[in-house]
Amino acid sequence: MQNPLEEKLNNNNIKPTAMRILVLQYLMEKNAAVSLKSLEASFHKADTSTLYRTLKTFEEKKLIHSIDDGTGQMKYALCLETCNCVLADQHYHFHCTVCEETFCLTSQNIPSIELPKGFSMTQANLVLKGVCAHCEVG
């Protein structure tokens, strides 16, 4: 029986190393996007460049996507099973200004936008800001 984490890595053509399995597990346990800083805080024994390379490998292999939520720190979140990281797979993100967590809003895709003639879109960075359910009071 293969470990489901190993299987997920294999499915994305990523060689499952101990570090990669741990990082994947961490990403799966969080329901918000994570930054390199938060990874560092949870993996004291690993050095930053190893963690950074792990994230970059995951991103290249379309296991995670990066989110620029305007906080100055890149965040990373797991892609959906069906994601090919093409424009059609992109979704809105929500940044909570109270807990500073960033969430994927995967239930709807970004609608296609009418662009001026000659313009072509290659990337969408749509981050909504507000207060998440957890932080909303009363």
Which residue ranges make up the site for Zn ion (CB under 5 A)? 77, 96, 98-99, 104, 132, 134-135
The distance of closest approach from Cβ of residue 43 to Zn ion in the complex, given in angstroms and rounded to an integer, is: 22
| Closer residue to Zn ion in complex, CB, 108/122 | 108
Residue 63 near residue 21, CB atoms below 8 Å: no
Q: Write down the number of H helices and E strands in the chain.
A: 4, 6
| Closer residue to Zn ion in complex, CB, 69/118 | 69
The distance of closest approach from Cβ of residue 67 to Zn ion in the complex, given in angstroms and rounded to an integer, is: 6
Q: Report the b/e string of 44-70 with b at 16+ CB within 10 A.
A: eeeeeeebeebbebbbeebbbbebebe
The distance of closest approach from Cβ of residue 119 to Zn ion in the complex, given in angstroms and rounded to an integer, is: 24
The distance of closest approach from Cβ of residue 80 to Zn ion in the complex, given in angstroms and rounded to an integer, is: 9
Contacts of 51 (CB under 8 A, 6+ apart): 23, 36, 39, 40, 43
Inter-axis angle of helices 4-11 and 18-29, to 10 degrees? 100
